[in-house]
């Protein structure tokens, strides 16, 4: 009995020390792995430091879209792009005026005519809760000027502005930039929109729609895709 107690006295501190060292190492490994996966651009959703898929909060609270420096014509393009996502997601509700009647407001700021490199159409900035992998509001989207002047589909039905807005709004839902060849022509989230356009992708693809519904919609809606 005394030997057993001595063994426990030795093992318990060892176990505690192993836990103290091991848990941070595990978190560190996951963070490094997540960073690597995000750089490779082969997974559908952006990974947080705990290697969890990022996502917007599932809530009935509306999401207020606040646009800055858009002409009337440009604002129509923005709303058309966002409405396609809105129609697929039963758990998201985008509004353009603060008519929420006192409910908490989640806000996405979309700024036009922002000085960005010619190779970048837009950027999306947000913070996130690492424990829940939930994207936090407010979110800021910056758009390069003049994108409405470029037609971005073979049938001339979409502008570059609409394509970039769709791409950046998908980021607000946790979707990541896709960089591997298998995604070229398969998703609006392919990182090179010019190459996507050459492969006939200027808006949401069937795969994009299915993936939005799988997280933010209702399962029966998948039958209509």
Query: Tens digits of per-residue pLDDT, 138-163?
Result: 999 999 999 999 876 666 678 999 99
pLDDT at residue 198 in the model: 85
pLDDT, greater one: 3 or 44: 44
pLDDT at residue 59 in the model: 82
- Name 45's Cβ contacts closer than 8 Å, sequence gap at least 6: 53, 54, 55, 174, 175, 176
Sign (positive or negative) of CA dihedral 140, 137, 55, 82 = negative
Residue 16 has pLDDT above 50, yes or no: no
DSSP sequence for 179-197 = -SGGGTTT-TTBS-HHHHH
pLDDT, greater one: 224 or 176: 176
pLDDT at residue 90 in the model: 83
β-pairing, 55-56 vs 63-68, is unpaired
Mapping DSSP onto H, E and C, the string for 7-74 reads: HHHHHHHHHHHHHHHHHHHHHHHHHHHHHHHHHHCCCCECECCCCCECEECCCCCCEEEEEECCCHHH
Count CB atoms within 10 A of the CB of residue 103.
Answer: 13
Sign (positive or negative) of CA dihedral 216, 221, 222, 224 = negative
Percent of the chain past pLDDT 70, that is, above it, reads: 79
Residue 30 has pLDDT above 50, yes or no: yes
d(CA 119, CA 28): 33
| 3-state DSSP assignment of residue 203 | coil
């Amino acid at each position: 009995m005394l030997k057993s107690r001595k063994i426990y006295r030795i093992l318990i501190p060892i176990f505690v020390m192993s836990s103290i060292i091991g848990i941070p190492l595990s978190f560190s490994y996951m963070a490094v792995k997540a960073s690597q996966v995000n750089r490779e651009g082969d997974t559908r959703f952006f990974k947080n430091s705990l290697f969890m898929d990022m996502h917007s909060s599932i809530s009935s609270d509306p999401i207020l879209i606040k646009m800055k420096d858009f002409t009337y014509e440009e604002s129509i393009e923005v709303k058309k792009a966002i409405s396609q996502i809105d129609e697929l997601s039963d758990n998201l509700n985008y509004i353009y005026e603060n008519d929420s009647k006192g409910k908490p407001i989640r806000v996405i700021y979309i700024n036009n005519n922002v000085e960005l490199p010619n190779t970048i159409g837009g950027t999306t900035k947000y913070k996130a809760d690492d424990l829940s992998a939930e994207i936090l509001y407010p979110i800021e989207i910056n758009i390069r000027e003049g994108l409405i002047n470029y037609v971005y589909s073979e049938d001339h039905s979409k502008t570059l502005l609409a394509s970039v807005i769709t791409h950046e709004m998908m980021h607000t839902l946790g979707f990541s930039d896709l960089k591997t060849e298998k995604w070229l022509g398969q998703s609006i989230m392919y990182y090179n929109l010019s190459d996507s356009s050459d492969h006939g992708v200027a808006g949401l693809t069937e795969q994009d729609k299915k993936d939005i519904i799988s997280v933010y919609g209702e399962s029966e809606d998948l039958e209509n895709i």
